[in-house]
A = this chain, B = another copy of it.
Amino acid sequence: MSQYVFGVDIGGTTVKLGLFDVTGGLLDKWEIPTRTEDSGSKILPDIAESIKAKIDEKKIAKEEVKGVGVGAPGPIDSAGVVHKAVNLGWETFSIKETLEELLHMPVMAGNDANVAALGEMWKGGGQGSNDLIVVTLGTGVGGGIIIDGKVLTGATGAGGEIGHIHVQDGETEACGCGNKGCLEQYASATGITRLANKKLRESDKNSVLRQGEVSAKTVFDAVKEKDELAIEVAEEFGKYLGDALAVIASVVNPEAIVIGGGVSKAGEILLNYIRPNYEKNVFHGSRNAKFALATLGNDAGIYGAAKLVLDLK
């Protein structure tokens, strides 16, 4: 009888690991460095060793472990095959098969943002909803779509790429993905900073943002102080993100929309700038979707990875 499951979240510099009971209680969590040398060939063996060591340490019988779920940055299809993960040095191969050979237990794998979305559905801001849009506003904009309790993986593992939907014609700077005018260029922490710096250059309004370095945090701190220029930046951000969420919701018809990532630390005030734009443009059938902030922070990935394995029939 399975009693435990491991959730693994592979990042560019560290791998986060969690040991869970089958009800989703987090029993232990730890990190190991991500060794990206040699085309990332050490990453999965390092993870396998770390899990074996934890099994020994906790005196767990191997048959008590249901399996290992893995989230990694890159397109990963529903068979667990990653199609190139630049940050890890990985080309195309099966994460599932490789790790199963190393550990001799069931493995499931998915894109890190999608897996984190599943975590927020299970134990975070999206609890109680089966149809969910999760958007993560960090350095970039990540996302995950949950349909009927399952991650929307897509044909080639590129489902839920909310950050790269096109929202602005005529943009001259390129996004990291190569396109121009992606949501990420306006609604990520970096994007908000960019919007603010542009506004500071073009406006001669007084603003606390003119003192010191500008960041998404200083912008929303200034919004809370009712700084007019910062409010204009927040309105611009909210129009980009609210409009984009309205488009996605008209297709996905979610029960809830969860906003996470570093930018979401600004709190509920963020939603005041997103929701009115959302409500104005979304199809009426999706107008009542709940908005919520993510609650799991950096643990969303290990929670979602664990859930991937628990969902195995």
Residues on A facing B (Cβ under 8 Å)? 75, 78, 83, 129-131, 143, 145, 147-148, 152-162, 164-166, 177-179, 181, 243-244, 246-248, 250-255, 280-286, 289
Residues of B within 8 A of A177 (CB): 283-284
Count this chain's copies in the assembly: 2
Residues of B within 8 A of A181 (CB): 281
Residues of B within 8 A of A155 (CB): 129-131, 253-255, 286, 289
Distance of A285 Cα from B158 Cα, bound (Å): 6
B131 and A166: CB pair below 8 A? no
A-B contact pairs, 30 of them (CB 8 A): A75-B285, A130-B155, A131-B154, A143-B251, A147-B147, A152-B251, A154-B254, A155-B253, A155-B289, A156-B286, A158-B253, A158-B285, A158-B286, A160-B251, A161-B253, A161-B285, A164-B250, A165-B247, A165-B250, A165-B251, A166-B247, A166-B282, A177-B284, A178-B284, A179-B280, A179-B281, A179-B283, A247-B247, A247-B248, A251-B252
A253 and B131 in contact, given A181-B281, A281-B166 (Cβ under 8 angstroms): no
Looking at the assembled complex, report how far the CB atom of A148 sits from the nearest CB atom of chain B, in whole angstroms: 7
Q: Which of B158, B161, B166, B252 contacts A159 (CB 8 A)?
A: B252
Residues of B within 8 A of A147 (CB): 147, 152
Residues of B within 8 A of A148 (CB): 78, 153
Nearest to A244 among chain B residues (CB) is B247
A154 and B253: CB pair below 8 A? yes
Nearest to A167 among chain B residues (CB) is B247
B284 and A253: CB pair below 8 A? no
Nearest to A247 among chain B residues (CB) is B165
Nearest to A164 among chain B residues (CB) is B283
Residues of B within 8 A of A289 (CB): 155
Looking at the assembled complex, report how far the CB atom of A66 sits from the nearest CB atom of chain B, in whole angstroms: 23
Residues of B within 8 A of A251 (CB): 143, 145, 152, 159-162, 165, 248, 251-252
Looking at the assembled complex, report how far the CB atom of A6 sits from the nearest CB atom of chain B, in whole angstroms: 26
Distance of A211 Cα from B130 Cα, bound (Å): 54
Looking at the assembled complex, report how far the CB atom of A110 sits from the nearest CB atom of chain B, in whole angstroms: 13
B246 and A166: CB pair below 8 A? yes
Interface centre among A152, A158, A251 (most CB of B within 10 A): A251
Distance of A157 Cα from B131 Cα, bound (Å): 11
Distance of A155 Cα from B244 Cα, bound (Å): 19
Looking at the assembled complex, report how far the CB atom of A72 sits from the nearest CB atom of chain B, in whole angstroms: 15
Distance of A158 Cα from B280 Cα, bound (Å): 17
Distance of A165 Cα from B155 Cα, bound (Å): 22
Distance of A234 Cα from B107 Cα, bound (Å): 49
Looking at the assembled complex, report how far the CB atom of A188 sits from the nearest CB atom of chain B, in whole angstroms: 15
A253 and B166 in contact, given A148-B78, A181-B281 (Cβ under 8 angstroms): no
Residues of B within 8 A of A145 (CB): 251
A250 and B162: CB pair below 8 A? yes
